[in-house]
Structure 1
Amino acid sequence: MIDLIGAVALGAASALVVFVYIHWLAFSNGRRGAVAGVIGAWFALVVACGATGVLGAAHGIGPAGLGIAVLLPLAVFSYFSMRTGMLGEALGAIPLPVLIGVHAMRLLGVFFVLLFWEGRLPAPFAPAAGWGDMLIGATALPVAYLAATRAPAWRTVTLVWNALGLFDLADAIALGAASAPGVPFGLGSQGANSDPMTMLPWILIPCFIVPLLAHSHLLIFQRLRRSGAASEQAQPVSQPYRN
Structure 2
Amino acid sequence: MLDIVAAIFATAYCAAQAGLLIGPAFLRGATKIALFAATAVWLAVVVAVYGLGVLSPGTLGPFPVNLVPFTLFLAILFGAWVLIPQARDALLSVPMPALVAVHAGRVAGVFFLLLYFDGRLSAPFAPVAAIGDIITGAVALLLVPLLVLGVKMPKLWLGAWNAFGLLDLLTALTLAMLSVPGTAFRVFTEGPGTLVMGTLPWIFVPAMLVPVDLLVHVVIMTKLRSAPRVLGAMAMAG
TM-score over 0.5 for the pair: yes
**What's the C-alpha RMSD, in Å, of the aligned pairs?**
2.2
**Cα contact 1:103–1:140 (8 A) shared by 2:** yes
Superposed, which structure 2 residues align to 1:46-195 within 5 Å?
46-60=46-60, 62-63=62-63, 65-83=65-83, 85-148=85-148, 149-153=150-154, 155-189=155-189, 191-195=191-195
Counterpart Cα distance in 2 of 1:175 and 1:122: 10
- Where structure 1 has 5 or more consecutive residues not aligned to the other structure, the ranges are 232-243
Q: CA deviation at 1:175?
A: 1.0
Q: CA deviation at 1:58?
A: 1.8
**Cα contact 2:64–2:180 (8 A) shared by 1:** no
Moved more, 73-82 or 61-70: 61-70
Instruction: Please state whether the residue corresponding to 1:41 is helix, strand or coil.
Output: helix
Q: CA deviation at 1:226?
A: 2.2
Amino acid at match of 1:16: A
Indicate the residue corresponding to 2:38 in structure 1.
38
Instruction: Please state whether the residue corresponding to 2:58 is helix, strand or coil.
Output: coil
Counterpart Cα distance in 2 of 1:70 and 1:157: 30
Q: Whose helix fraction is larger, Structure 1's or Structure 2's?
A: 1
Q: Residues 189 and 52 (structure 1 numbering): CA distance in 2 closer, same or farther, change over 3 Å?
A: farther
Instruction: Please state whether the residue corresponding to 1:109 is helix, strand or coil.
Output: helix
TM-score, structure 1 normalization? 0.85
Count how many residue pairs are aligned between Structure 1 and Structure 2: 229
Counterpart Cα distance in 1 of 2:61 and 2:50: 12
Amino acid at match of 1:67: L
Q: Percent identity between the aligned chains?
A: 33
Moved more, 187-196 or 94-103: 187-196
**Cα contact 2:66–2:203 (8 A) shared by 1:** no
Q: Residues 61 and 209 (structure 1 numbering): CA distance in 2 closer, same or farther, change over 3 Å?
A: farther
**Cα contact 2:115–2:121 (8 A) shared by 1:** yes
Instruction: Please state whether the residue corresponding to 2:102 is helix, strand or coil.
Output: helix
**Cα contact 1:25–1:94 (8 A) shared by 2:** yes
Amino acid at match of 2:221: F
Q: Residues 65 and 196 (structure 1 numbering): CA distance in 2 closer, same or farther, change over 3 Å?
A: closer
**Cα contact 2:25–2:90 (8 A) shared by 1:** yes
- Where structure 2 has 5 or more consecutive residues not aligned to the other structure, the ranges are 232-238
Amino acid at match of 1:139: V
Amino acid at match of 1:30: A
Q: CA deviation at 1:179?
A: 0.9
Counterpart Cα distance in 2 of 1:145 and 1:226: 22
Amino acid at match of 1:171: T
